[in-house]
Amino acid sequence: MAAFRYRNFALFWTGAVVSNTGGWVQNVTVPYVVFRLTDSAAWVGFASFSLLITASILGPVGGTLADRFDRRTVLLVMSTAQAAVAMALWAAWGAGVRSPGVIIAMAATSGVFAGLMIGSWQAFVSELVPREALLNAVTLNSAQFNAARAFGPAIGGVILALVGPGWAFFVNGVSFLAVIAALLAMRLDRVVEKAVGRMHIVADFRETIRYVRASAGIAACVIVVAALGFFESPVFQLVVVFAEDVFVVDEWVFGVLSAALGIGAILATPFVAGWGSTFRRQVLVAGAILLCGTSMAVFALAPNAYVGFVGLLGVGAGYLTIASSLNTTIQLQVDEQMRGKVLAFPRAQHHLVRTAGQPAPGRPRRGDRTPGDGRCRRRLLRPRAGPPAGPRLSGPPGRRGGPTPDRSGLIAQ
């Protein structure tokens, strides 16, 4: 892997994979906790919506920051802020806070800082390697994100099964130390020209739209990224619903299913980073779209978790191929003074259309399950022996039409 020969990129990649793994531990924990507290798939969608809408709205601001300020500094500040939010979420859970609204609000706050660092994160890669190694670096950067998407949910499932959500939030907070240490250890020699004068976010956003529309290649990439976000991204948020209501599995299998997307991406990495350069990117993207769509259909129609796992593998492999190919195309075509804003634009659009794929919040329907109908199913987290260490859960009526069942096993963690 050519890009690993460059010290700064190797540092960044290592710190990023640790930090993103912690992020995916939290990403799998938040919908899990929200679903356990509300018993509503719609609330799971709302949790995802809250995180994505903040990131999409602030993405253009993050692009402007990337082109006006030192990108490493922006990444340091935002990573530190996200670590603080994660630790606050851990402290709130440890203090007995069991309100889904509070958990969603804190996750959305983390999305604010994620949105502000989108442009810097994407554009920073070009400062770490020369142009001839850019394709390899972009693919490896996508690979580390998807490696984290594989390991993070699996680790999250184990943590949820053994010690509970509080430790999952703590692991995410500590994981940010890896990327912060990597950024501080870098020696950057390349000087990147920055924009001068007053910062005009709205004017910069308009300029970005004009720039994207004037470049047919970049505009096509943005459209494909938006479509990918709408159709593929909600799949991950709803894995918890499939695990409990369709496949009827425990938290261990839930973690494996959540990791399948990332595992599929890892399996595709050698092909994209190596042999993928011998194909025209249009052909590569077209084949990946076909794979992604077919695999989604397999997952949607899967009769059991095994078939669902195979479908998610295909979705992950297609996602990595599409994302890395499109990112490389944009990186090679964009002008340096527009790099941060243009790279942030498709990511912001990606997050925005992902929100459209989330179900609107609402109350669970009564009668979804009735006693004695032969469909009594195991819960993902069973109440454990012994008295609960926290307050009992109160909330909307449960699915059986009566009071919400006791979930003190979750609360006690």
Q: How far apart are CA 245 and CA 208, in angstroms?
A: 44
Residue 344 in domain: yes
Q: Tell me: the pLDDT tens digits for 335-374? A: 888 888 888 887 777 666 666 555 544 444 444 433 333 3
Residue ranges making up the domain that contains 219: 7-186+202-356
In CATH, what number is assigned to the domain containing residue 247?
1.20.1250.20
Domain count, the chain: 1
Q: How far apart are CA 67 and CA 46, in angstroms?
A: 32
pLDDT value, residue 346: 79
Q: How far apart are CA 109 and CA 331, in angstroms?
A: 29
Length of the chain (residues): 413
Q: Tell me: the pLDDT tens digits for 111-136? A: 899 989 988 998 899 889 888 888 78
Sign of CA dihedral 18, 24, 25, 27: positive
Residue 374 in domain: no
Residue 312 in domain: yes
Q: What angle do CA 71, 76, 79 make, to 5 degrees?
A: 120
Residue 229 in domain: yes
Q: Tell me: the pLDDT tens digits for 305-341? A: 999 999 999 988 888 888 888 888 888 888 888 888 8
Residue 160 in domain: yes
Q: Which of 94, 103, 112 is nearest to 27 (CA)?
A: 103
Residue 407 in domain: no
Q: Tell me: the pLDDT tens digits for 273-300? A: 666 666 777 888 889 989 988 999 999 8
Section 15-21 average pLDDT:
94
Residue 368 in domain: no
Q: How far apart are CA 286 and CA 195, in angstroms?
A: 36
Sign of CA dihedral 84, 90, 96, 98: positive
Residue 319 in domain: yes
Q: What percent of the chain has pLDDT over 90?
A: 30
Prediction pTM value: 0.72
